[in-house]
């Protein structure tokens, strides 16, 4: 198992800061050292420590010191030991079922409104698992919130193969969601004047279009670019999510042009369009807690205030599920979606007898975007197919494509489908080189959102709809 | 009803800031104006707005805008209207009892561990009242947290005569307790270099020894004084609680000397003792959420770091319940607690035939502290009585005196009982002029705390114990 | 002699900060203590120390430590001692006349351009007095700049009766002028959020309309007021000059209304006019170094940027020299300046036979502004006289009135003369209750300035000119 | 001519910031555009503009706007044009010789002390060249100080071949020296938390041991490193000089080890020695204005305060003039300085008949440091020669080696001469691979400084002196 991928690397870094932060804390009791993988004997001792911490004999300050103690012990374990540690929490420190049943009986037997109100409160209290009280103590420790976030990244990893950990993950996730409520987050613009400590994290966390050097990063913070991130006050050095914006004229239709380090810089005051071209979540431990919707709207609002001449706010987004969907189709499903003559031309160009085969053949050529005839034949068939995929194909929650679903549920509309817009290997492999402009027209955002969420209606420009065939 | 006393004044101030903060927000729908006292027709309309907000048709950003709308409507009501508004929340937006019962049934019928885990989660979710979801939206609004805190101050006022509001208060209190967890608070030292905006709030909030002018405040921020407060990041201009400290030599035994504006200033580096002489809670809407324990310990830690020569950390505290207790005693309970000859002298001095009468007579003289013979006779009997009151009298939770209970449960010990230590009218009337030094010896704090909390043991110096008679 | 008035008090305050700042500096030699009044023997020792400091044997860091040493010695002297100290500088550490004469000879004998350039440089160097090198060392000491500024305030005081000190004052003034060049100053807005340390200095330094309480100060920092000050980076806690601005509708014509603590507050965004109603210099030691011109223009620029709806920028200024001028006039000079019938009415009202006597009689009544007939008679004669005084009377540099000269040389124009505009005792006594609006119209400021400075032309509105008689 | 090397590049960058800063300034008159190389006609126009600026008809604010105008015109010229521009200043705007001669006559004819004092002041005033008044106006413009600093870098370049510009350079240098007095500078620690804008300047300005990547820079800001720089408040983004410090145990004796990116990081609290291993001046336009002396002492003081366990403060410095000196020696001068047997061994090892030839032969081998026998033979002769060079050879001002002179005049002593301490190509070529520890013992710094500056005495440890032969 690659520990870096699973969040372990995060914790190693946290460990150092953690120890520095907690060094010299008087724990009131000597630190116990466990074996790396947490032996059966260690587990007994661990329970005693958890119990002491929860009984809080020594008052709140003491309880938090004991929590720090446990946190350090956790960090010193190897992966197997950590999994065992979490299993102890999952098995022994959940809701007390007897108490819960008693509370339920009490509630069911309440005879008047007042008694019922009291019973309801008691029932709620009995559903608060001790393990969550324990983990909550960490938020008063330096770097304690980051510890919990990184711990959840590990927990999620373990939970994939260990369903008993799922409830613990649900509870921790709910706790973190409450702490990371949008109201507590700060939106910050990040510039080339920001601390290098922070900038190097952008390089690390950028998940869409990798930043390959400090020069590249500088270009993305140039005067015609903007970069905004959300931060939590207890994790001031750690972005939660960030978005990269290019200020351009007209909707950008090609991401390689946008990322070209040699491209001339535009005057920000001369731009009419803000293109959101990359959004990256930074904390795997906050998976499932969504910030992107609010981030885009707040950034759009700030940009509109600072640069009042901006007329358009749109993304340049990938279409990550398209090729996978396309590869799963048959001639029966595809042929009605493409024009007859376009289909014929495609098959001729491929020297193939059916559409599925033709598409497979042509798309398999590594350099098809630079082969004029092939590209032309593909464009004529793929554009209507992609439009169909975007507008008509549905998944569980709405649009089949997850990026499309994200922006449509935010209230954006499909503005433009761009051919040969991302010719990187990944762009061709997942999206056939297509990229989409989702446009946020502030006064229609609510209406679009509601139409999509209530009735599944997808808003697209007529130019896009015209691409449909059949 | 004096609305200022009941938190209403707080909200009026909030209203102005609130409106400034939210002005220009596009609520998506026109603002409704209710009649001042919220008529029956208004209530119908109010319910529609609350429903729209909770259904969150327009997405999170829109839900928050609607919440702002409701907040502004609330602020424009008079007290009667506000009470009705809160009653609507209390009656119509609590936990859905049918759903709750269904969740209970589901839980009771779960057959395996996995189903039980899922049912437990569902049960927890069904206990989340819609009104709390509604109020939670406010934390993402500028000044929204302060709005909720002030709203709770009003809610507590109404709840005294309206028990239906109690559950709503409990729920809101729990929500605020989670948001105001110690881990999210910042300890700040306040000095004469702090903004006047903040300093004037100290004058307003000081609840123990009133600050009567800016000159008086400046003296309390002089080089031999310290003042620390806790703040929440979303209420950066509002202290939650603050403590005032005097740096002195030896335990301070008289609060008038401490507050004397003409007293010479000591070099901070020459002091051996830090006296915590005043702690004030600033937010009535956070009643029941305790910060004092942590505040004292953090300040002691910071002081010990900055001024390593400090040897003692102690309070100079009132004994607010003593006179009330004393007035409730009989000759039968008092006489065994005082020395025989001291009792005789007291009665002679008063020209009274019994102890109760003698005490009443002498303490009724307004200027007894300046009448040598009376003061002497009183000292001989009152010191043992006060010691008995402090050490032997018990209330529900521990020591009968609430200030004593607070410091003892924090792990302090009773170090010294000071005679003629607060000769202000209030000091004489509530505590017979006595003040107590509770001392925090860092290495015994945990032990004292545990002995007090587990076994009710009160720690006092032998010098204090020797004052007991009989 | 009142030492406070003469700047001595400033230095006492500096002394404490100074000692704190320099305490623990290793001077390399023991501190010498002089007698308070600096005896003849002390002077010998003082010269040795100054010589050591100037020879800078110990390198620059050491030279500065020795300067600190001398500064502390100075601060410990009484006024007589300090005067002697400065006389030593004036007499013994000026330009070396022999060297200067040699440099002159050298210059006069230079035969080619290159030699002449070198001789010019040498001549310049020989005019640099050692005492200025000595004082310059202070700017690298904490609070050293403030020390020099306060020292100059004392020096100016002594120089009034001791002309030998004048050259030293000139040299120090030139040095300070170079350090306090506008380019190094920072314009800061001061608000109720500013540190109390700073705000209490405004109360102390306000020289035009006294601030009598913190409540009064708060009113002057309300949302329809602005207060700006210049600061020097090496004296960050000390304003150099500040200006108070009221945001109003229409030109303010009465200063008591403006300062009225009970007046309602206007929305800043609704105001069309910014009235500069008070400018105070804060540092007597910077006398002769002018900041007011730039301050007004920068503040006007900032206000125009922040509140684009502002249309007028004007002062509400006193006419401090008017009564003094008026009292020096004769019937022969006055009568031609007032209308015949107005003159008759005035004399009748006063029961006097000539104008001088009539004016004296009526203005002597303490409450004439509240006596309708008297006020009316005075208005008819005084308005033309004041207009004449403002526009036609000249002093050495331009307009006779010093406040008028200041604003006219800044490029303002006389917009309005306001009757009964300052009815305070001082206002009546110096300016007969009149106040002037000088208006800054940004696009004419240069033109007005040039017309006034080159040709003595005073710009006034036709409404003002129409007030002239005869 | 390579314009980058000569400061021109600096100005190009300044130009962009300058224009941004000044854009929209209302200059009162349209901007004139000159031909790139400033034609004769342009020069006439230029003089008119300079005259207008100096006459300051439009008041100070207007004068500064005109100066901005001139600055922008300067920046738009090519190098030839700029030189002509500066020549105009040098020829036409220097001291007015007639006025100067009149002032001299006046001074020579003064008959009493008072007249003499006045004449002296007038003489001083007549030596103030108009061009310096003109350039002084720039300090009130955004980025104006940086403009002057960069302009001086160009001026110095032109002055090498154009002696008429020398006086202008002297005057500007004096002005800058007054503005950049140590007292106005701020010492800042630079860390990996500093803005990237600033950090990239360190990479650019490092003049001793090049920083070749951001990773390399990060290593130099690691927890066992410190980097401090001086800044001027009007150039907050531009370091003036910076020093790099390594925290180590014992005196560092090899710079490659110190710069090794793979070396483990030490706990700062465990180090006993601070090694100053690189000092770089950043502004060519401030040549001749010295900051290094103060910088080292202030940094040593700050380090001693923050890390009280530090015992030694020393440099690891090159010996840049050694090889040049050695190459100029003869057998007659060298042989007495080396041991007889060491000389024989050296010549044998080289197969040479005399010392000069032997040294030349052996040092010419590129890889001699890695050839044991050669290195050994060289060490035995070069160590005494280097010691002799350091201690006994003198230049104009003191020690012949310029780095040695710098540290000795600061009061450091020669602590250690390190063999094979810098084996980079440059280190071998200029200093035969030697590096020197100059140690700053704070309590002897003054004494050493004085002994060196007054008597030329060089302080060295006995271990170093023992290396001398003969």
- Quickly list DSSP for D316-362: -B--TTHHHHHHT--HHHHGGGS-HHHHHHHHHHHT-SSHHHHHHHH
How near does any CA of chain D get to the CA of A186, in Å?
19
Tokens of A169: 């993950």
pLDDT at B6 over 50: no
Contact B104 A107 (CB under 8 A): yes
Beta-strand ranges (E) seen in A174-326 are 186-189, 225-231, 241-248, 273-281, 312-315
- The pLDDT score that the predictor gives to residue C1 is 32
Contact D196 A192 (CB under 8 A): yes
- D5 or B100, higher pLDDT: B100
Rounded average pLDDT over D83-96: 95
Name the neighbours of B, counting chains with at least 3 Cβ pairs within 8 A: A, C
Query: Could you tell me which residues are beta bridge partners of residue B242?
Result: B229, B280
CA dihedral A211, A214, A215, A218 (to 10 degrees): 80
Contact B449 A62 (CB under 8 A): yes
Residue C188 touches chain D, beta carbons under 8 Å? no
Question: What CATH code is assigned to D322-465?
Answer: 3.40.630.150
pLDDT at A29 over 70: no
How near does any CA of chain D get to the CA of A244, in Å?
18
Question: What CATH code is assigned to B183-315?
Answer: 3.40.630.180
Shortest CA distance from A199: residue in chain D: D196
Rounded average pLDDT over A357-382: 93
Q: What is the ipTM of this complex?
A: 0.84
Contact A195 D196 (CB under 8 A): yes
pLDDT at D18 over 90: no
Most confidently modeled range among A12-16, A395-399, B213-217: B213-217
The residue extents of the domains of chain D are 10-94+129-179, 183-315, 322-465
pLDDT at A364 over 90: yes
Rounded average pLDDT over D61-84: 86
Question: What CATH code is assigned to D10-94+129-179?
Answer: 1.20.140.90
Mutate to test the interface with B, among C23, C196, C215 (most CBs of B within 10 A): C196
Residue C192 touches chain B, beta carbons under 8 Å? yes
pLDDT in tens, B104-145: 999 999 998 888 888 998 999 999 999 999 999 888 888 889
At C240, is the pLDDT very low, low, confident or very high (cuts 50, 70, 90)? very high
Residue B355 touches chain A, beta carbons under 8 Å? no
For chain A, what percent of residues have pLDDT higher than 70? 92
- The pLDDT score that the predictor gives to residue B397 is 78
Name the neighbours of C, counting chains with at least 3 Cβ pairs within 8 A: B, D
Contact B197 C199 (CB under 8 A): no
pLDDT in tens, C200-212: 999 999 988 899 9
Query: Could you tell me which residues are beta bridge partners of residue D253?
Result: none
Shortest CA distance from C125: residue in chain D: D124
For chain C, what percent of residues have pLDDT higher than 70? 92
C407 is catalytic: yes
pLDDT averaged over chain A? Answer: 89
pLDDT at D376 over 60: yes
pLDDT in tens, B235-262: 999 999 999 999 999 999 999 999 887 8
Tokens of A399: 């649009």
- Residue in D127, D145, D449 nearest the CB of C58: D449
* Residue A415, C-beta contacts closer than 8 angstroms, at least 6 positions apart: A251, A314, A436, A437, A438, A439, A460, A461, A464
pLDDT averaged over chain C? Answer: 89
Residue D297 CA to residue D410 CA, distance in Å, equals 9
User: In this structure, what are the phi and psi dihedrals at residue D415, rounded to the nearest 5 degrees?
Assistant: -95, -35
- C119 or B22, higher pLDDT: C119
At D59, is the pLDDT very low, low, confident or very high (cuts 50, 70, 90)? low
Residue A453 touches chain B, beta carbons under 8 Å? yes
Residue A297 touches chain B, beta carbons under 8 Å? yes
Residue B466 CA to residue B463 CA, distance in Å, equals 5
pLDDT at A248 over 90: yes
- C262 or D100, higher pLDDT: D100
Beta-strand ranges (E) seen in D190-232 are 225-231
Comparing C-alpha atoms, which of C176, C174, C298 is closest to residue C235? C176
Q: Helix (H, G, I), strand (E, B), or coil: what is residue B423?
A: coil
Contact A234 B183 (CB under 8 A): yes
Contact A196 D195 (CB under 8 A): yes
- The pLDDT score that the predictor gives to residue A65 is 78
**Which residues of chain B have a CB within 8 Å of the CB of C204?**
none
Residue D297 touches chain C, beta carbons under 8 Å? yes
* Residue B247, C-beta contacts closer than 8 angstroms, at least 6 positions apart: B224, B225, B226, B266, B268, B271, B273, B274, B275, B307, B310
At A25, is the pLDDT very low, low, confident or very high (cuts 50, 70, 90)? very low
- Residue in B57, B117, B234 nearest the CB of A454: B57
* Residue C90, C-beta contacts closer than 8 angstroms, at least 6 positions apart: C131, C164, C165, C167, C168
Contact D124 C127 (CB under 8 A): yes
- The pLDDT score that the predictor gives to residue C52 is 84
Chains B and C contact (Cβ–Cβ under 8 Å for 3 or more pairs): yes
pLDDT averaged over chain D? Answer: 89
pLDDT in tens, C312-323: 999 999 999 999
Residue A199 touches chain D, beta carbons under 8 Å? yes
- The pLDDT score that the predictor gives to residue B278 is 94
Rounded average pLDDT over D378-390: 97
Residue C196 touches chain B, beta carbons under 8 Å? yes
At A169, is the pLDDT very low, low, confident or very high (cuts 50, 70, 90)? very high
Give the angle subtended at the CA of B438 by the CAs of B435 and B442, to the nearest 5°.
160
- Residue in D57, D127, D449 nearest the CB of C454: D57
Residue B193 touches chain C, beta carbons under 8 Å? yes
Rounded average pLDDT over D11-22: 55
How near does any CA of chain A get to the CA of B61, in Å?
7
pLDDT in tens, A43-92: 999 999 899 888 765 456 677 778 888 988 898 899 999 999 999 999 99
How near does any CA of chain A get to the CA of B31, in Å?
17
Rounded average pLDDT over D76-92: 94
At D6, is the pLDDT very low, low, confident or very high (cuts 50, 70, 90)? very low
Strands D186-189 and D225-231: antiparallel
- The pLDDT score that the predictor gives to residue B4 is 32
CA neighbours within 13 Å on the CB side: how many for B207? 11
Shortest CA distance from A113: residue in chain B: B164
pLDDT in tens, B396-435: 878 999 999 999 988 899 999 999 999 999 999 999 999 9
pLDDT in tens, D293-317: 889 988 998 999 999 999 999 999 9
**Which residues of chain A have a CB within 8 Å of the CB of B136?**
181
Residue D184 touches chain A, beta carbons under 8 Å? no
Residue C24 touches chain B, beta carbons under 8 Å? no
At D26, is the pLDDT very low, low, confident or very high (cuts 50, 70, 90)? very low
**Which residues of chain D have a CB within 8 Å of the CB of C457?**
none
**Which residues of chain B have a CB within 8 Å of the CB of A90?**
none
* Residue C13, C-beta contacts closer than 8 angstroms, at least 6 positions apart: none
Residue D453 touches chain C, beta carbons under 8 Å? yes
pLDDT at C284 over 60: yes
User: In this structure, what are the phi and psi dihedrals at residue A272, rounded to the nearest 5 degrees?
Assistant: -110, -5
Buried/exposed D146-162: b ≥16 CB within 10 Å, e otherwise: bbbbbbbbbbbbbbeee
One fold for A10-94+129-179 and A183-315? no
Rounded average pLDDT over B180-195: 94
pLDDT at A113 over 80: yes
Residue A382 CA to residue D84 CA, distance in Å, equals 65
pLDDT at D30 over 50: no
pLDDT in tens, C334-383: 999 999 999 999 999 999 999 999 999 999 988 999 999 999 999 999 99
Residue C36 CA to residue C386 CA, distance in Å, equals 52
Shortest CA distance from B213: residue in chain C: C214
Residue D197 touches chain A, beta carbons under 8 Å? yes
How near does any CA of chain D get to the CA of C144, in Å?
9
Contact B114 A163 (CB under 8 A): yes
Contact D196 A197 (CB under 8 A): no
Contact D57 C114 (CB under 8 A): no
- The pLDDT score that the predictor gives to residue D11 is 54
Residue B25 touches chain A, beta carbons under 8 Å? no
Does residue D274 contact residue D312 with C-beta atoms inside 8 Å?
yes
Chains A and C contact (Cβ–Cβ under 8 Å for 3 or more pairs): no
At C130, is the pLDDT very low, low, confident or very high (cuts 50, 70, 90)? very high
- Residue in B192, B193, B197 nearest the CB of C192: B197
């Amino acid at each position: 198992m690659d520990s870096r991928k699973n969040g372990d690397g995060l914790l190693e870094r946290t460990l150092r800061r953690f120890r520095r932060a907690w060094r010299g804390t008087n724990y009131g009791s000597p630190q116990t050292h466990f074996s790396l993988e947490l032996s059966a004997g260690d587990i007994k001792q661990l329970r005693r420590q958890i119990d002491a911490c929860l009984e809080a004999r020594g008052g709140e300050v003491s309880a938090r010191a004991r929590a720090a103690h446990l946190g350090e012990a956790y960090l010193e374990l190897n992966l197997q030991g950590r999994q065992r540690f979490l299993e102890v929490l999952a098995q022994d420190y959940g809701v007390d079922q007897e108490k819960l049943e008693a509370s339920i009986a009490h509630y069911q037997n309440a005879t008047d409104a007042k008694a019922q109100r009291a019973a309801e409160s008691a029932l709620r209290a009995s559903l608060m698992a001790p393990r969550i009280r324990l983990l909550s103590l960490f938020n008063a420790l330096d770097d304690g919130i980051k510890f919990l976030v990184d711990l959840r990244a590990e927990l999620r990893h373990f939970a994939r193969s260990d369903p008993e950990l799922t409830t613990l993950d649900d509870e921790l996730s709910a706790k973190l969601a409450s702490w990371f409520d949008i109201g507590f987050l700060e939106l910050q613009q990040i510039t080339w004047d920001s601390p290098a400590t922070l900038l190097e994290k952008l390089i690390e966390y950028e998940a869409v279009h990798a930043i390959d050097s400090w020069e590249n990063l500088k270009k993305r913070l140039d005067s015609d670019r903007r970069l905004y991130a959300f931060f939590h006050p207890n994790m001031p050095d750690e972005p939660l999510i960030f978005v990269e914006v290019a200020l351009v004229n007209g909707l950008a239709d090609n991401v390689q042009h946008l990322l070209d380090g040699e491209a001339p810089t535009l005057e920000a005051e001369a731009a009419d369009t803000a293109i959101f071209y990359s959004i990256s979540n930074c904390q795997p431990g906050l998976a499932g807690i969504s910030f992107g919707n609010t981030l885009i709207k707040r950034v759009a609002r700030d940009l509109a205030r600072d640069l009042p001449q901006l007329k358009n706010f749109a993304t340049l987004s990938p279409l990550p599920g398209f090729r996978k969907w396309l590869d799963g189709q048959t001639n029966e499903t595809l042929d009605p979606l493409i024009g007859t003559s376009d289909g014929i031309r495609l098959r001729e160009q491929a020297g193939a007898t059916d559409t599925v085969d033709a598409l497979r053949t042509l798309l398999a050529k590594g350099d098809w975007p630079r082969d004029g005839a092939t590209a032309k034949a593909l464009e004529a068939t793929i554009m209507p197919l992609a439009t169909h995929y975007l507008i008509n194909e549905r998944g569980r929650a709405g649009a089949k494509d997850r990026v499309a679903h994200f922006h449509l549920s935010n209230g954006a509309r499909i503005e433009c489908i761009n051919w040969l817009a991302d010719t990187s290997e990944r762009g061709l492999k997942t999206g056939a080189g297509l990229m989409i402009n989702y446009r946020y027209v502030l006064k229609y955002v609510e209406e679009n959102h509601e139409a999509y969420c209530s009735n599944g209606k997808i808003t697209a420009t007529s130019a896009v709809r015209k691409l449909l065939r059949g």
